Amino acid sequence: MRQFVAVLIAGVLATAGLLAQGAAPQDERQALTLRMIVLATSEDASAVLDRVKRGDRFDELARRHSIDPTAGDGGLVGRVDVSSLRESVRRALANVRPGQVSPVAQVATGFAIFQVVSDAPGTPTPINPVSFATIAGVGAVKFVPDIGGLPEAEALLREFPKGADWNTTPQGICQARQDSLSAGQDLFERFFAPVNAQVRESRPPFELMQAHLGLAQILAYQGSMARAIEHYSEAYRIAQASVAAAVPQVEEMLAVAHLHKAGMDSNVFRQPNDTCLMPGAPGVAYAKTADVDRAIELLTSFLARRPGDLEGRWLLNASHMARGTWPDGVPAADRLSSSAFGPSDAVPRFKDVAARAGLNVFASAGGLVVDDLRNSGRFDVVTSNFYSCGPVRYFGSNGDGTWAERSAAAGLRAEVGGLNLVQADYNNDRCTDLLVMRGGWEVAQRRSLLKNNCDGTFTDVTVESGLATPVTASQASAWADINNDGSLDLFVGNEDAKAQLFLNDGRGHFTDIAKSAGVDRQTFAKGVTAGDYDNDGFVDFYVSNYDGTNQLYRNNGNNTFTDRAVAAGVPGAGRGFATWFFDYDNDGWLDLFVTSYFMSVDDTARTYFDLPHNAPTMKLYRNRGDGTFEDVTTSTGMDKVFMPMGANFGDIDNDGFLDVYLGMGTPSYASIAPHALLRNDGGKRFVDVTAASGTGEIHKGHGIAFADLDFDGDEDIVAEIGGATPGDSHAMRVFENPGNGNDWIALKLTGVKSNRSALGARITVSVEHDGVARRMHRQVSSGGSFGASPLEQHIGLGPDATNVTVDVWWPSSGTRQHFTDVVANHAYALEEGAASLLAIERTPIPLGGGHK
Amino acid sequence: MTMWAFRLLVALLFLLAPVHARAGQRTKEYPVTGMIVSIAPAAKTFTASIQAIPNFMAAMTMPFEVRQASELQGLTPGTVVSFTLVVEPNTSYATRIAVVPYSNTEQDPFSANRLKLLSDIAAGKQGRPAEMVAVGGPVPDFSLVDQKRRPTSLSQFRGKVVVANFIYTTCALPNFCLRLANNFGVLQKRFAAQMGKDLVLLTITFDPTHDTPEVMAQYASQWSANADTWRFLTGPATDVERACRLFGVHAFATEGLMDHSLHTAIIGRDGRLVANIEGNQFTATQLGDVVAATLTALPK
């Protein structure tokens, strides 16, 4: 009996032990009030930790030994949001109760121990920025190394002698680019000429290695991958022989160069196919895989030196996708799970028809406008080009599902360069004009205002309009009528100068009133968007900045604005890029979306490997209707980290809820990551349906537009794909919407008293389905800040929509219109003040010209 | 007792007490890495602020003997060295001293270095730029503007030790610029008694467009910097570039951020460059130890 009891007790204890191990609670506390002691070395930190454990007071030790500015306050940091902390600190703090002290954690300025003062919930308190920077996740982000030479090309552009007014004409900028690049390459090649062998031998190996890398990068910039690889390889050899610490980095550069070469040799940049999509389908491989094999070899070696490195693991998986051997070919420890990309059947597949449609424009990064620029009733396509010598290109619709280039006929031959494009009728002549923005990410370069002559041609009127000087670097601007005088004004966010607010005098001339308007702040602005977020009839602006807090400029109604970003709860996530106002939950109030752009493959990989992030996520802010917003990023599933650049929104399934498509990447050739199509589920959650939709393009996504190109009642997605370097140029993709069973309506608004483009007009479509009433709310705009959809609004109505009513409010004039018994599944022209809608006759055309 | 005094005491005990080496115990050798604080060739010793030697000694600053004075050739304050510490029954000495060359292969400085090389080649320059001051050489005067918009020249601090570092306030990588600036926060406390009287700290931006005096003042407030004794300098781009070139600081704007090199320079009371320490792989203690030696150094 005693034996039995003993066994029973042993069993109970063992089970309790097992349960205790397995049931260690996940630390889900959101806010902690902390003290911290930072020491320079881990030995010092361990020594201080020992003293805490022996009973010495934490605050006294902080005062005496901490190298952090909080030392003077006994190490008191304040209340922090746990999710904002770097992973090493979060791990150290897990399950540390108030009064207890954490193990040592590595931080940016050294090594730290923490004492939890309180874990009571609450909003974070202001914290010394030094202390925050040292423990914040954002300070631990691993940035992707540049492979592809953009920094080298930019340095050459800066260094080379140029005329004083080199940046005042597009052609001047192109010339400077070409000259600096060829001169730089020339000098490097002379350095490597046989006659200079003795000079080279006298240089230390580190310098020689860097010289090889420099030339490799310049060659890679231009897409000369075979020659680039020669020099990357030589740098690799030197590193292996003499600069051991550089080996992993150079190994990675060489691997990525091989992968890029394989893609070019397999022609996937000019003729993209399913190998350009993530996840890769088994058996689908590049045509030429010899270089992929070499990349895999190098990445395997890289991972042996840096086990578990997320960037290495991610690139290894991407290489196997290019090889057609993913996922099984990847060693289990490094493998990305096939479930990482979401279900393969969430939505039907979109097919790329760009080539058949004549829209597979081969270009580097650039902007995109899809709109009816000839008042033909059909949508034309215009792209701009980040590469200084890359032309602005105009594709006119043939009306049969194909487009033909007519750039020269349109008078655009002289227009080169420009990262972003946006359209609006600035002179109210009912023809839509174009604004080309230049200098984004670079140095100041002149923009171009292209006046539409209403005859299929454009004239560059930048100088006459007052928009030519001062010359600034920008890719962010928004057209809006700020004073409701019926003319469109222009807010320009700059990267190297104060923001500009150009007031339109109604006669095609602009004056910068930013100073008196109170918006003349200098930030690194990457996105500007317009929207009347408080529904007071005066349009407001949101400025998304790469270098800190964003601005929400509330229009005071008297040509002045007040920044309310912090008070309204929309500061952004620190490195803002694309942004827009949209009513994602159809409650009549404009919500706000802003991306977070950390150039980090490591942090993006964490999204798919399902690991904790260091970088902050993009932000979705729901308008409360009281002048403030609620951060609903997490509750809507938007708490993801990507590398989003071009982006826009539309309704991919006509259910009435606006979906989002994000183009991805950075200039580096290592930044291979899929675009993301996020479907809005009932205004409550955004679900990643990329894999199923077949829109997970891995190359660099810039201007994005949603447009019903083939008039079949659903929005297709046009994506300008191409990187920042000529060697990363790529064909544009046109993803044809496979269709759905829901109803829709398209409304082309024209202002009469208000600006002709109808920018800022507010639309509400009410429908009934099965006796339940629904409303869809939209504002007339081109969508997001990087990629422009047609100003004609396509609105999904959900299934079997009856009793369709359209209400329009024109804030500039105060006009309100109400249309009842509207027949769904048609396009209508809607003029301000008119008594009725005018049906636009359109028959669906086969997208790509009839080869279904 | 402060950490430093404690360390010094242990060091003295170690040096002076032969009891540490038991009779009959054989010679032991330890690999050591540290930063040179000062050298005394006549006495055949150098002082270094060394990292902890596992299972033997905590990190500390202490003098080391060498067998031959020639082993000290080429060593200057701030230089990082690796050497072997030989511990014999009745004595100890350092040998096989090697300078650890700074060739930072961390991503950011690696890239900045390459861009610098490229710019030099593009501008037709070879080798070390002419303007860069060599250790031991006189540092030319430069004039910038501090966080209170006061014109500030290096020459106004002649007779005091000046330590300078280079940052930009929007640096995305806190283990670079922030760590360097934070080192100065530690120095400001360690040398509280000497700040202003004998020691001045200068933190200079290489992004003057964004880092206006007001921005620098805001940045300085994070360490409660005394504006008279720890000056945060900016100014017209040409003036800033000139000051940066004196110390080999180069910075390149890249995609909204900056790739840049890391430097901390120590200038003696006589206006000569004592040390130009590259990178961030040293502690504020080591930097402070070199500064302390510079403060007490006798004029040559």
* Overall average pLDDT of the A472-479 stretch: 97
Q: Which residue in chain B is spatially nearest to A497 when comparing CA positions?
A: B209
Chain A neighbors of B61, CB-CB under 8 A: none
For the stretch A306-348, pLDDT in tens is: 999 999 999 999 999 999 999 999 999 999 998 899 888 889 9
Give the pLDDT of residue A852.
Answer: 47
Instruction: List strand residue ranges (DSSP E) for B51-127, in order.
Output: 60-65, 80-87, 92-99
Measure the CA–CA gap between B107 and B254, rounded to whole angstroms: 13
Token digits of residue B102: 């700074």
Collect all residues of chain B within an 8 Å Cβ-Cβ radius of residue A496: 209
- Judged on CB neighbours under 10 Å (0-12, 13-18, 19+), A339 is exposed
User: For an interface test with B, which of A36, A65, A156, A159 has the most B Cβ atoms less than 10 Å from its Cβ?
Assistant: A159
**Which residues of chain B lie closer than 8 angstroms to A128, CB-CB?**
222
| Interchain pair B111, A145: CB under 8 A | yes
Contact A69 B285 (CB under 8 A): no
pLDDT digits (tens, 9 = 90+) for A394-416: 999 999 999 999 999 999 988 99
Domain with CATH 3.40.30.10 in chain B: 109-296
Peptide bond into A170 cis (omega under 30): no
- Among A133-142, A458-467, B101-110, which is the least confidently predicted range? B101-110
Residue A75 has pLDDT above 50, yes or no: yes
Q: Does B189 touch chain A (CB under 8 A)?
A: yes
Name the closest residue on chain A to residue B106, using Cα atoms: A246
Q: What percent of chain A has pLDDT over 70?
A: 96
Percent of the residues in chain A that have a pLDDT greater than 90, as a whole number: 87
pLDDT at B107: 80
Distance CA A322, CA A289 (A): 8
| Closest CB to A109 among B110, B117, B179 | B179
Question: Best interface-test mutation with B: which of A150, A152, A217 has the largest number of B CBs within 10 A?
Answer: A152
The predicted model scores a pTM of 0.91
Facing residue for A159 by CB, picked from B123, B224, B256: B123
* CATH (residue range B109-296): 3.40.30.10
Q: Contact at 8 Å (CB) between A667 and A643?
A: no
CA distance A780 to A808: 10
| Cβ contacts of A407-413, under 8 Å, gap ≥ 24 | A409/A456, A409/A457, A410/A456, A410/A457, A410/A458, A411/A453, A411/A457, A411/A458, A411/A459, A412/A450, A412/A458
Within chain B, all domains assigned CATH 2.40.50.320 are found at: 3-99
Q: Which fold has domain B3-99?
A: OB fold (Dihydrolipoamide Acetyltransferase, E2P) (2.40.50)
Q: Which of B182, B218, B259, B281 to mutate to test the interface with A (most CBs of A within 10 A)?
A: B182
**A69/B254 CB distance under 8 A:** no
Report CB contact under 8 Å: A547, B118. no
- Chain A environment of B222 (Cβ under 8 Å): 69, 128-130
- Contact between chains at A41 and B256 (C-beta distance less than 8 A): no
Taking the CA of residue A451 and the nearest CA in chain B, the distance in Å comes to 31
More confident residue, B52 or A682: A682
Nearest to B100 by CA among B86, B82, B124: B82
Q: So what's the pLDDT on residue B173?
A: 86
Angle, alpha carbons A110-A113-A118 (nearest 5°): 135
In chain B, which residues have their Cβ closer than 8 Å to the Cβ of A207?
Answer: 117
Put simply, the answer to whether B122 touches A129 (Cβ < 8 Å) is no
Are the beta carbons of B255 and A129 separated by less than 8 Å?
no
| Cα distance between residue A580 and residue A519, in whole Å | 18
User: What pLDDT does residue B19 have?
Assistant: 44
Chain B environment of A71 (Cβ under 8 Å)? 189
Does residue A28 surpass a pLDDT of 80? no
- B254 vs A72: CB contact, 8 Å cut-off? no
Q: Which residue has the higher pLDDT, A506 or A173?
A: A506
Chain B interface mutation, best of A109, A146, A207, highest count of B Cβ atoms under 10 Å:
A109
Q: Which element (helix H / strand E) includes B179?
A: helix B177-190
* CB contact (8 A) between residue A130 and residue B223: yes
Residues A151, B59: C-beta atoms closer than 8 Å: no
**Spatial separation of the C-alpha atoms in residues B262 and A401, rounded to whole Å:** 57
Query: Which H helix or E strand runs over A622?
Result: strand A619-623
Name which of A43, A67, A667 is nearest B186 (Cβ-Cβ).
A67
With an 8 Å Cβ cutoff, are A152 and B115 in contact? yes
Determine, for residues B111 and A214 on separate chains, whether the beta-carbon distance falls below 8 Å.
Answer: no
Tally A–B CB contacts below 8 A.
Answer: 141
Q: Å from B183 to nearest chain A CA?
A: 8
Whether B279 contacts chain A with CB within 8 A: no
Per-residue model confidence (pLDDT) at position B62: 94
Q: What percent of chain B has pLDDT over 90?
A: 66
Which tens digits make up the pLDDT trace of A264-275? 999 999 999 999
Which tens digits make up the pLDDT trace of A206-232? 989 999 999 999 999 999 999 999 999
**A695 vs A30, residue with greater confidence:** A695
- Closest residue, chain A, to B252 (C-alpha): A155
Distance from CA of B96 to the nearest CA of A (A): 20
- Give pLDDT, residue B20: 46
Q: Is B217 helix (H, G, I), strand (E, B) or coil?
A: helix
Tokens of A76: 């008191």
Would the CB atoms of B58 and A159 count as touching at under 8 Å?
A: no
* B160: closest CA of chain A, how far (Å): 24
Q: Which of A206-210, A426-430, A603-607, A658-662 has the lowest mean pLDDT?
A: A206-210
The Cβ of residue A431 has, within 10 Å, a number of other Cβ atoms equal to 19
Distance from CA of B281 to the nearest CA of A (A): 10
On the question of pLDDT at A51 being above 80, the answer is yes
The residues in B 99-128 lying below 8 A from A, measured between CB atoms, are 103, 105, 107, 110-111, 113-115, 117-119, 121-123
Cβ B115–A151 below 8 Å, yes or no? yes
Option in A64, A141, A156 nearest B122 (CB) = A156
A221, two tokens: 């910039």
Model pLDDT, residue B3: 56
Q: What is the pLDDT of residues B178-200, one digit of tens each?
A: 999 999 999 999 999 999 999 99
pLDDT at B129: 62
Hey, are the CB atoms on A522 and B210 less than 8 Å from each other?
yes
Chain B stretch 37-56, residues whose beta carbon is closer than 8 A to a beta carbon of chain A: 51-52
Query: Does residue B221 sit at the A interface (CB-CB below 8 Å)?
Result: no
Pairing state of beta strands A802-810 and A762-769?
antiparallel
> pLDDT tens across B72-88, in order?
998 999 999 999 999 99
Using pLDDT thresholds of 50, 70 and 90, give the confidence band for residue B25. low
Chain B from 159 to 178: CB within 8 A of any A CB? 170, 172-175, 178
- Taking contacts as CB-CB distances below 8 angstroms, the residues of chain A near B123 are 159
Q: What is the pLDDT of residues A348-395, one digit of tens each?
A: 999 999 999 999 999 999 999 999 999 999 999 999 999 999 999 999
